[in-house]
Structure 1
Amino acid sequence: MPRPPSARRQRRRREQTRVRRPLVLLAALTLPAALVSCAQQEDGGVSDAKLAKTEIPPKVSPRTTLTVGAPEDRVLLRLTGAVKKLGFKVKWANISGGPQCSEAFRAHSLDLCASAEVPSVHARWTGLDTKLVAAEVRKHPLRNPVYRLGIAPGAGIDSLKDLRGKKIAFSPGQAQGALVLRILAKAGLEKSDVKLVEIPSTGDVYSTALGERQVDAAPLGAVNLKRYPAKYGREGGRTIPHGIRDDASHLWAPTETVSDPRKAAAVREFVKHWARAQVWAYEHPGEWVEEYAVRDQGLSRADGAYLHKHNGAPEIPAGWDEVIGRHQKTIDLLARETGQDSFDAATLYDRRFEPVAANALRAKGELTP
């Protein structure tokens, strides 16, 4: 008759089982992701060729649903009445910013989001297959930049060249991170000439880091351009211009979304109303401030009015060549500074959508041919 295992051996077996199970689970979770990443990277060129030849249906199906992460556009499309004219269902996700959009894309839970130009680059380098389907810039990009460089009290920074040896807030994979690298290049500095401090650029994190002197400089945008000097100005906190164009913004989608003809038709319809909404927001500052800035974002009317004026007039380019050319420079800079391989910026764009936004404005008489 076999002897029962000792208590010590039983404990050992249970511990080994507990160790093996997480390892097996980790492998099960990691391997598919790795295979998907490799597949996306290896067949990306073929996918692009097929995508370019895939015709978008002329009409959108009312049974189609898009999940969209664009908080401002959710408000604008409601205010303009466009949300009732889309011809398909929209599920709004409370998501904004490149990292959140990328995470949702990977989870197959988001079809479209608003984004700057850098997240799509970072997505490409991490195996996430996406496309840009709309582009917007500002009519006076240097007069109305998205960001200014915030300077901490007592940092002793009066110009970009004074950044040498300073601590600068840095957020890889986001527009602010790329802007920091551009600023260093303009100042004739290398990354080794400064100390880059990785801090996520959400909310008022950067302005707080500046005010508490955790960093000497950080890109500031939106209402923080007004709030930071108002709060820390007496101590010496301020902002300075960087003189670099930083105005690119896009609608961004997973390639799997625009590869689906039904969803592609819905995206095209959304882009039309999105373009008109950008112009409407500029031409209706009172409604924008009250409904979006105050009611939706919880800002004061003064902050909302400041932000609307700071945003300036939008421009929807009729062609994407210039936008892609600037995007290419960003890719080349990021590749050089991060050790990644550069690639053709045009591969990030689904040019089937190139004329959609501008044509929608022409149809409404809001854009001259």
Structure 2
Amino acid sequence: MGVLAVSLLLSGCAGEEEAVSGAELAEAEIPESVDPDTKLTIGTPEIEVALRLSGLINELSFDVEWAELSGGPQCSEAFRASELDVCSSAEIPSIHAHWTGLDTRLVAAVFRKDPVSNPIYELGIAPGADIRALEDLRGKRIAYSPGQAQGVLVLRILQEAGLTRDDVELVEMPSTADVYPTALGNGEVDAAPIGSVNIRRYLDLYGPDGGTTIKHGLRDDPGHLWVPTSTVADPEKAAAVREFVQVWARAQIWINEHPEEWIEGYYVEDQGLSREDGEYLVELNGDPDIPADWSGAIERQQETIELLAEATGNESFDAETLFDRRFESVAADAIAEDDGTGGA
């Protein structure tokens, strides 16, 4: 992580620059080749491991400083401090960045091919809560984390169930670590979205007492590469970002096609999970879907903006402004080229 650990303490509003208009960015050409003297600071810890395990890291022709950063708040602060060029994120951070005056763009998108059968989150139900369907949430206490993916999922679940925020009691609490499963088990809330290995651990721990989970039936899987606009407004850095997006896409496919290496190298050795947990997560994650056309992703982002604007009192805005469409087909083209089915 190097300089980032100290610099973020001083982040404040440092590094914020005058916004680059969408028209200016769209018209800016990206150099065909990457200057090897270009340097990017990249915060994608999971992909860094995949690149090292697969050997794809050797395809990067520019200088990289890897940052042990993940999640919207950490990456936003690093962007403000001008200490980070690329970050992995879900759909929410770029929206909140816009509302706080932080100028950023999304340069890659990944989903799951079967998001309803393989959701990232399930709705954990506390023992004795008597919730068997989404409609049963009326009058119940639901863990809620504003500004995080889990918080937006709660809003989507209420919308799906035909309920409003006034029909339930939203209990604000952070969704980090095992906070939600513990709150469920202790009876602090009746329902909470839980994900990853916490799903099976919650059922193992509280299932004997009546704890359950229900699938919400909604797409909850958007993933993106997220950058400060100043990074992609720089032609040399934009070329390096394009190359990283290509390698990032290939890493997504490598992970999917090499489950044994991924379980051992990432989940067991890097994350310290059991092999059983790793096998569970590989099954949970499903196959990646990297679209060449972002129209669907932008439409979904617009729906999320509208939902959050209503919940937070912020003004809605055009989701298109969050995407740098110069990169729209870069990831899909890289995969198609490897498959021999086309590509740029």
State the distance in 1 between where 2:291 and 2:145 align.
Answer: 28
Counterpart amino acid of residue 325 in structure 1: E
Say whether 1:188 aligns with 2:186. no
Match of 2:7 in 1: none
* Cα-to-partner distance string for 1:79-116 (whole Å, 9 max, x where unaligned): 12111220011111111111111111111111111111
Say whether 1:124 aligns with 2:72. no
What is the deviation of 1:368? 7.1
Say whether 1:275 aligns with 2:249. yes
Q: 1:197 aligns with which of 159, 167, 171?
A: 171
Match of 1:221 in 2: 195
Counterpart amino acid of residue 128 in structure 1: L
* Cα-to-partner distance string for 1:141-175 (whole Å, 9 max, x where unaligned): 11111111011111121111111121111111111
Aligned residues: 334
Task: Assess, with a 3 A threshold, how the Cα gap between structure 1 residues 34 and 253 changes in structure 2: closer, same or farther.
Answer: closer
Say whether 1:85 aligns with 2:54. no
State the distance in 1 between where 2:342 and 2:264 align.
Answer: 30
Secondary structure, aligned partner of 2:237:
helix
Task: Assess, with a 3 A threshold, how the Cα gap between structure 1 residues 141 and 367 changes in structure 2: closer, same or farther.
Answer: farther
State the distance in 2 between where 1:259 and 1:167 align.
Answer: 45
What is the deviation of 1:328? 0.9
Query: Does structure 2 conserve the Cα–Cα contact (< 8 Å) formed by 1:168 and 1:195?
Result: yes
Say whether 1:348 aligns with 2:322. yes
State the distance in 2 between where 1:352 and 1:135 align.
Answer: 13
State the distance in 2 between where 1:367 and 1:186 align.
Answer: 38
* Cα-to-partner distance string for 1:250-271 (whole Å, 9 max, x where unaligned): 0001111111111111110000
Counterpart amino acid of residue 96 in structure 2: H
State the distance in 1 between where 2:226 and 2:36 align.
Answer: 22
**1:1-369 to 2 correspondences below 5 Å:** 33=13, 44=19, 47-365=21-339
Larger Rg: 1
> Unpaired runs of 5+ in structure 1?
1-28
State the distance in 2 between where 1:229 and 1:57 align.
Answer: 52
* Cα-to-partner distance string for 1:317-353 (whole Å, 9 max, x where unaligned): 0110111111111111111222111111111000010
Task: Assess, with a 3 A threshold, how the Cα gap between structure 1 residues 170 and 86 changes in structure 2: closer, same or farther.
Answer: same
- TM-score of the aligned structures, taking structure 1 as reference length: 0.87
Task: Assess, with a 3 A threshold, how the Cα gap between structure 1 residues 34 and 106 changes in structure 2: closer, same or farther.
Answer: closer
What is the deviation of 1:34? 10
> Unpaired runs of 5+ in structure 2?
1-9
* Cα-to-partner distance string for 1:207-227 (whole Å, 9 max, x where unaligned): 122112221111111111111
Query: Does structure 1 conserve the Cα–Cα contact (< 8 Å) formed by 2:89 and 2:224?
Result: yes
Counterpart amino acid of residue 86 in structure 1: L
State the distance in 2 between where 1:175 and 1:366 align.
Answer: 36
- TM-score of the aligned structures, taking structure 2 as reference length: 0.93
State the distance in 2 between where 1:259 and 1:62 align.
Answer: 18
What is the deviation of 1:33? 4.1
Query: Does structure 2 conserve the Cα–Cα contact (< 8 Å) formed by 1:358 and 1:367?
Result: no
State the distance in 2 between where 1:367 and 1:194 align.
Answer: 50
State the distance in 2 between where 1:61 and 1:171 align.
Answer: 42
